[in-house]
Amino acid sequence: MKMKGKTYLSIEEIISLPTLSGTNISDDGQKVAFVKKTANWKDNTYRNHVWIYEKDKVQSYPLTNGNIDSTCPLWSPNSRNIAYLSPVGNGKNQIFVKSIDGYGVVQITDEKEGVSNFKWEPTGKGFYYVAQSKECEEIKKRKELYGDFHHVGKEHRNNCLYYIEIEKVIQNDKEEREVSGVYQLIEGKDFYIHNFDISNDGTKVVCMATPSLNDHMNGDLYILDVEVGELQKMNIDKLLGGSVCFSPEGSKICYSASIREKEYYRNHIQESTLEIYDMNTGEVIQPLTNFDSTVMPLQWTAKGILIRWQDKTN
């Protein structure tokens, strides 16, 4: 009896398998942007690049290439441009915008510590993004005298929410003069933003935040009135996690929350479900309590809520 040929992959073949992540569908439903991670054997590293799949042409192609990574693609509201993160200079991620019509690339942000999260403004005129808060003067002076060190557990560099106007960035590049167009919306002291979303009318921003990076027991939701600049704490007595999103009309918020109150989980394993908060009435519902225990909302559309979960964990 003859033995069959090779039936398994070698280590090299496994490493060479590309992986796909960061999928984002354009608002017109005709295109998908995603990140393709491949092995670069020559440089002994992995490379991440943004790819586009076009439904009508039934084909995919790279939007970015070369030796610089690009991640987190997001389509513009008009489905003609893609924003993504890519490192520059000191290796920190900045927001870039590229047209699928081939009109070149524009670097939008220039944050010293880089951008960690971002979203398009609903009309496509700018971006809301999260970046590390500025270092206080006391720590700056101490570093100048004694070098770079910090007190573990006592000094926290939290983050801030910013807004930047694309038109002013382009104007700055063309006329070579300082036109910032960057607005800090939320102070970073005792405030670490894990996730956020913008209402479709652009008047409100919801943030899922904790006092510091790892203080998950004290997380809460905050509503920012963009025009007034007022920040309101919602005082949710649940453990929060995952993502948060507005309903299409902006009157409700959907997020991932624990089934019981916070204190219960100091001695029990955390479980989460979908929770919806009505900002007009204050009513809170959990529509999927008998579902799996790791439900997270991704996006709320006119047809319903797109969710993600880990199957059979309940």
Please report, for the domain that includes residue 120, its CATH number: 2.120.10.30
Tens of pLDDT along 170-217? Answer: 777 655 545 567 888 887 667 899 999 999 999 999 999 998 888 888
Do residues 222 and 210 touch, judged by C-beta distance below 8 A? no
Residues 40 and 163 in one domain: yes
Residue 12 lies in a domain: no
pLDDT band at 102 (very low <50, low <70, confident <90, very high): confident
Do residues 184 and 160 touch, judged by C-beta distance below 8 A? yes
Residue 140 lies in a domain: no
164 vs 127: CA distance, rounded Å:
5
Residues 169 and 242 in one domain: no
Residues 171 and 263 in one domain: no
Q: Averaged over 78-101, what is the pLDDT? A: 94
Residue 104 lies in a domain: yes
Structural tokens at position 290:
């008998």
Q: Which ranges constitute the DSSP H helices of the chain? A: 11-16, 137-146, 166-175
Residue 305 lies in a domain: yes
Query: What's the helix, strand, coil split of the chain in %, to 5?
Result: 10, 45, 45
- What does the pLDDT read at residue 177? 45
Residue 204 lies in a domain: yes
Residues 21 and 164 in one domain: yes
Residue 3 lies in a domain: no
Structural tokens at position 94:
């900045």
Among 68-77, 131-140, 229-238, 253-262, top mean pLDDT goes to 68-77
Residues 127 and 67 in one domain: yes
Residues 202 and 122 in one domain: no
| 237: CATH | 2.120.10.60
Residues 63 and 37 in one domain: yes
- If one counts the domains in the chain, the total is 2
φ/ψ of residue 180, rounded to 5: -60, -65
Structural tokens at position 84:
């993504």
Residues 35 and 169 in one domain: yes
Boundary residue ending a domain (189, 205, 235)? 189
- What does the pLDDT read at residue 290? 80
Residues 87 and 236 in one domain: no
Residue 88 lies in a domain: yes
Q: Averaged over 254-268, what is the pLDDT? A: 90
Residues 180 and 250 in one domain: no
Q: Averaged over 287-311, what is the pLDDT? A: 84
Single-letter amino acid, residue 63 = L
Radius of gyration of the chain (CA): 22
Boundary residue ending a domain (164, 189, 214)? 189
pLDDT band at 47 (very low <50, low <70, confident <90, very high): very high
286 vs 277: CA distance, rounded Å:
9
Residues 30 and 116 in one domain: yes
Please give the residue range of the domain that contains residue 224: 191-314
- What does the pLDDT read at residue 152? 60
pTM: 0.86
Residues 200 and 243 in one domain: yes
**Chain centre distance of CA 276:** 20
pLDDT band at 269 (very low <50, low <70, confident <90, very high): confident
Tens of pLDDT along 123-179? Answer: 999 999 999 887 666 666 666 676 666 556 556 678 999 999 998 887 776 555 455
Do residues 52 and 33 touch, judged by C-beta distance below 8 A? yes
